[in-house]
Amino acid sequence: MTSATTAPSLPDTKLEHTGSLAARNDQGDPADPAKQALVASITTALANVDIQLGSHLWSFHDPERRKALSRMRDFLQRIREGSDRIAPDQVAAIHAVVERAAKNDQRRGRDNAWDLAEELRRRVYDAHTDAGLLLLIQREMADDTGVCYRNVFGRELPSALATQPLAATFRADALEILRCLHDIRVERVRLDRARDRMWQLFMWKLTPVLAGLLLVLYLLQPDEQRAPVAIFAGAVGSMLSAVLRVRDGERRIQQIRRSMSLLVIQPLLGATTALVATWVSQAHLIAFDPTTSPSGLALLGFLAGYSEPFFLGTLNRLAEAATLKADNSQDAPKSIRKSKDDPKPRQLPT
């Protein structure tokens, strides 16, 4: 980005007020036919968005979709208010996006509404005053989390960009930076969304396979070794654990998006861990006798489904014990091992 050595003179009033910059930000005649057509399309788009928002006012709806539609309405209003500051060479591109929002022949889903809202957000930058762009640039300078200029490009934003008086190329440079960061952020969200869909598709394919295997393993057990209470308790524990993670987790919105697949796969995972825990208990590999405490068996299944560290810790300890036993057997003196030639074990000399 380049900056001019000499900056145009600015009024003495503060930059946060937009009125003093009207002459500088005016990129064309507000009565231009292209801008008049843009404003008319925005009015139609706003009416269409309001209809879609009102159609689900009294019925069950997707909160994310309503949020995206509300953002679309907000961005459209901002573009209409700042239409006189839009550069003539950007009017056609903005009009094309607004025309898509004005179409009322389709009901937009959550993802389509989000995508269109983000396209409108990118076009809102052109309707900002220099004061608004400066505030956005200063916010980017202070941001050090997520997809920010510092993390993306590995360096700080040039301080001269926000130095008073503003350079002649400030508006073009600021718009280029904001559009670039916006595109990167949108691409990151779309990538996460694609991964989330792949995860859900995998879960839906895994569900019938896991359910079938779990049922076969349960039916193959002798009647006296079946523990349906423990298996159901494991499913309940797994569901409770999932609900608590969604409530307290950092990625709870993404977990909520997966709620339908979680409602199916999570109980199966809990039932499976509980079934394995009952095998461990019935093999007396842990200090727990299920015959003396039926309610304790249900508690064991619940803990196996609820606590991943409990279940994995139990399996890891059993694996370590088996490995240690095998290592000790290999390291034993050959003089005390049985062989085909000498079936009787030899005693070590005292």
288 backbone dihedrals φ, ψ, rounded to 5°: -155, 125
Give the CA angle between residues 67, 93, 83 to the nearest 5°.
75
Contact between 34 and 95 (Cβ < 8 Å): yes
The predicted structure's pLDDT at residue 255: 62
The predicted structure's pLDDT at residue 333: 53
Q: If we measure between CA atoms, which residue out of 304, 15, 44, 315 comes closest to residue 136?
A: 15
The predicted structure's pLDDT at residue 251: 57
How many residues would you count in the chain? 350
Distance from C-alpha of 160 to C-alpha of 167, rounded to nearest angstrom:
8
Residue in the block written with tokens 């389709």: 106
CA 97 to mean position of chain CA atoms: 26
311: which residues sit within 8 A by CB, 6+ positions away? 273, 276, 277, 303, 304, 305
Task: Going residue by residue through the chain, which has 350 residues, state the pLDDT in tens, using 9 for 90 and above.
Answer: 444 433 333 333 334 333 333 333 444 455 688 889 999 999 999 998 888 887 655 445 678 888 888 999 999 999 999 988 998 889 999 999 999 888 876 667 788 888 999 999 999 999 999 999 999 998 888 888 878 888 888 888 888 888 888 888 899 999 999 999 999 999 998 998 888 888 888 888 888 999 999 889 888 888 877 788 888 998 999 888 877 777 655 556 666 666 667 778 888 888 998 888 888 887 777 766 655 566 788 888 888 888 877 888 877 877 777 777 666 666 555 444 444 455 554 444 44
DSSP state of 348: P
Burial 302-330 (b: 16+ CB within 10 A, else e): bbbbbbeebbeebeeeeeeeeeeeeeeee
- Give the N- to C-terminal CA distance of the chain in Å, as an integer: 87
The predicted structure's pLDDT at residue 23: 38
Q: What is the DSSP string of 108-142?
A: --HHHHHHHHHHHHHHHGGGS-HHHHHHHHHHHHH
Instruction: Give kind and range of the element (H or E) at residue 274.
Output: helix 259-282
Tokens representing residue 148 in the block:
């920010």
9: which residues sit within 8 A by CB, 6+ positions away? 165
Contact between 273 and 305 (Cβ < 8 Å): yes
Residue 127 buriedness (CB in 10 A; 0-12 / 13-18 / 19+): buried
| Other beta carbons less than 10 A from residue 159's beta carbon | 8
Distance from C-alpha of 108 to C-alpha of 247, rounded to nearest angstrom:
29
